[in-house]
Amino acid sequence: MSKKPCVVGIDIGTSSCKTLAIDEHGEVVASSSAEYPVYTPFPGWSEQDPLDWWNAVKSTFREVAAKVKEHDFSIEGIGLTGQMHGLVLLDAQGKVLRPCILWNDQRSAPFCDQIHSLVGGKEKFMEITNNIMLPGYTGGKLLWVRENEPQIFEKADKFLCPKDFIRFMLTGELATDVTDASGTGLFDVKERKWATELIKLLGLPFSLFPLSVESHEKTGVVAESVAKELGINPGVPVFGGGGDAVVQTVGMGAVDPSVLAITLGTAGIVAASFNEFRKNPGETIQFFCNAMPESWIAYGTTLAAGGSLRWFRDTFAWSEDGVARWLGRSSYELLGEEAALASPFGRGLVFLPYLIGERCPHNDPFARGALVGFGLHSSRNDFLRSVFEGIVYSLKDVLVSMEPLGLKVSQIRLAGGGARSPLFRKLHATIFGSRVVTVESGEEGGSYGAAIIAGVGAGIWQSVSDAVRCIKVKTETDPDEEMIEEYAKFFEVYRSTYKALKDIFKMLNSFQK
């Protein structure tokens, strides 16, 4: 009797690695996670040791492989995902030359301006890549290393994104995929290939760039020595995979252009798929190649979505944390119930969730949080309600920035920790004016999407669209029809508040020492 097929997804997150196996019906067979540190040697720097990722992959994969074997499954393929934009530099022998510079590292900001200037400004640059060069992207990091660590740059033979280092360790192959390549800022997103003329203009050797493939394409097989260490048979194929911001939409089943994907974690991500290339409408939206051939994805990121609620909890609601532990519940669950007791709009309160600046729709490092409109009548629950609403309004503001792309949203797929909150689900439905759906796989993160992509590559499913049909709906929430118009009116108040405070935020920055 032959063994049942399954596929594995590996997600190299910023704080941890998650490895997961699913069967041909989309059911999770096994999963495991392991944490690793982030290093900040200087203010604004953010680095990790790629070998920390590899050790986490080995420990989690061994655990998953053991459970897969125990349940009589056979691993037919491995898919990869992880944090985007990171810079891993390898020498000709495949040795890591320095710690990986992460997506949230700010040191390369001056080089972004330099890159734009070399091509004649941001608009000219967007004509090449359909995105501006952001400090988080890989391109500016390459120039920073070339100028500040020339002895390391001279030894560099290839650069890789984080998940692609794991591919190299598994297979010995040097490759990336079109989604992660899009996030380097050096990729022709329309033609789905490296922007060779741009790379030449920047004086970067093209030999430094890895092969770029579509997400479902096979990029090698697990080497015999590695397979023995992981507890699997050698020769298991490893597929292209993709960057986490893209692949997690696959794991949510949000691959149809009419479905808007919102991930509500520490940050907030609003994403939509397109079956044809579209011109990027602005500097704060990312428009990348999607994890499906002849498909693209647009998304915008807010920096402190769930992070704003955590700030409120840690600053003003520490008692809920203790009560929640005593009750065996989540402190966020209790906060949601308290906020639901308050009136809509917190009886006239506006909360701006820009606690660490903002990326989209306002590319403004000086933006800060604000609570406007409170008085003697305001209660703590009013404050709390306004935080919930302000977070959702910030995500709706991202959608407004994406409207020139011609979106026609019929459904929202909500994932991340915030998706567990009935209040968040209802607020999204009402403020966006659309049904909100959560799915069983929504809490699995990018590893589930990476496994689906591996399943397509391995032939378990014919396409990603075919594969996501197996994803099970968990909850469905419809808008409060009577409140849609009122929330729409208050949304304009929310947007006007930032405009009124923008210059004040900049003035306040000099006092934040």
User: Three-state secondary structure along 21-48?
Assistant: EEECCCCEEEEEEEECCCECCCCCCCEE
Structure pTM?
A: 0.93
Label the pairing between strands 259-264 and 268-274: antiparallel
Residue 284, SS3 per DSSP: coil
pLDDT value of residue 135: 87
Enumerate the H helices of 90-161 as residue ranges.
109-118, 122-129, 138-148, 150-155
Helices H / strands E in the chain, number of each: 18, 24
Distance CA 96, CA 100 (A): 9
Distances (CA, A) of 371 to 14, 267, 334: 30, 19, 22
* CB half-sphere exposure, 436, CA atoms < 13 A: 27
What is the torsional sign of CA 170, 171, 173, 177? negative
Q: 420: part of which helix (H) or strand (E)?
A: none
Distance CA 334, CA 320 (A): 7
Domains, the chain, with CATH or none: 4-240 (3.30.420.40), 254-444+473-513 (3.30.420.40)
Tell me if the bond preceding 110 is cis, omega within 30° of 0: no
Q: Which of 164, 244, 382, 397 is catalytic?
A: 244
CA 55 to chain centre: 23
244 belongs to the catalytic site: yes
Q: What pLDDT tens digit does each residue of the chain (513 aa) get?
A: 578 999 999 999 999 999 999 999 999 999 999 999 999 999 889 999 999 999 999 999 999 999 999 999 999 999 999 999 999 999 999 999 999 999 988 899 899 999 999 999 999 999 999 999 998 899 999 999 999 999 999 999 999 999 999 999 999 999 999 999 999 999 999 999 999 999 999 999 999 999 999 999 999 999 999 999 999 999 999 999 999 999 999 999 999 999 999 999 888 999 999 999 999 998 999 999 999 999 999 999 998 999 999 999 999 987 887 787 888 888 899 999 999 999 999 999 999 999 988 989 998 889 999 999 999 999 999 999 999 999 999 999 999 999 999 998 999 999 988 999 999 999 999 999 999 999 998 888 799 999 999 999 999 999 999 999 999 999 999 999 999 999 999 999 999 999 999 999 999 988 876
Q: Which tokens is 376 given?
A: 């003697």
pLDDT value of residue 513: 62
CB 143 within 8 A of CB 159: no
pLDDT value of residue 1: 52
Task: Give 388-408 as a DSSP string.
Answer: HHHHHHHHHHHHHHHGGG---
- E strands present in 205-254: 211-213, 218-221, 237-239, 242-243
Which residue from 319, 282, 275 is spatially nearest to 297, judged by alpha carbons?
275
Which residue from 281, 365, 426 is spatially nearest to 44, judged by alpha carbons?
365
Q: How many CB atoms lie within 10 A of CB 47?
A: 19
Q: Which tokens is 443 given?
A: 């809490």
The binding site for substrate comprises 84-85
- φ/ψ of 499, rounded to 5, equals -60, -40
Q: Which tokens is 13 given?
A: 């997150």
Distance CA 485, CA 272 (A): 24
Distance CA 262, CA 302 (A): 11
Residue 312, SS3 per DSSP: helix
